[in-house]
Every structure is written in structure tokens, then in C-alpha cells.
Amino acid sequence: MKTVEQLLASHCREVKGDAMKAGDVAAQLKVLDQWTVDGVALKKVYRFKNYYETLAFVNALAYMVHREDHHPDLYVGYNHCEVRYSTHSVNGISENDFISAAKADAIYSHGYSVA
């Protein structure tokens, strides 16, 4: 299991083979705040004061995911954004999802206030 600091220092890489085992996912999930497992994906809903803040977060997230080449599914509303990470090449959750989730949390905590 990696710490948040280790996840933030890591970069996504090509992943093949099997998804992480449920026990490993559960253990790694403990270092992330308010992320849950939803089927074969990690999921979190971020809350904002208004649509402008929501879109600012989405744009900042877009820059990071492009750089990491690991793209989430996003569901955007007026004052919230649901982020879902999964790794299609393994049909489940991989370390890349945890790396990206930690980086999404870092983006959120560095400039976006909760409603």
C-alpha cells in the first residue's frame, strides 16, 4: 500500500493483466478521503459553490489527466462533479486509478472551496 505522498509522486503507466484484488483495493482506499468503490471503479463527488468553480476544477483536472494519460468519467452538474476512475485495460481498478484519485484530491484542496 502506498501513502498519499507516494501516490502523488507516482505517474500512471501502461497496465496489462489483472485488476487489483478486492483486498488490495480496500487497503489502498484507506489512504484516500471519501473515495468509494462503485462496481469496477473508484468514485468521488466533489462539491462547489457554483458552476464557475465546478468548471474551473474540471479544467484543472483535465490538464492533469492529459499529462498522466489516464482519463476518468466525469458527471458535471451546477455545483458538483462526480469523478470515476477505472482502468479499461484490466477491466477494473489499478494503481493508476489511485494515483489519479490522489492527484484529483490535491487539485481540489489547492483552490476550491466546498459549498
CB-CB neighbours of 50 under 10 Å: 11
Query: How is the chain split into domains, by residue range?
Result: 4-109
Superfamily holding 4-109: Transcriptional coactivator/pterin dehydratase (3.30.1360.20)
Q: Give 65-99 pLDDT, tens digit per residue.
A: 999 999 999 999 999 999 999 999 999 999 999 99
| Cα 109 to Cα 43: distance, rounded to the nearest angstrom | 17
Inform me whether the pLDDT recorded for 113 exceeds 80. no
| Average confidence score pLDDT of the chain | 95
Per-residue model confidence (pLDDT) at position 39 = 94
Q: At 115, is the pLDDT very low, low, confident or very high (cuts 50, 70, 90)?
A: very low
Inform me whether the pLDDT recorded for 111 exceeds 60. yes
Instruction: Dump strand ranges (E) for the chain.
Output: 36-38, 41-47, 73-76, 80-85
Single-letter residue type at 17: G
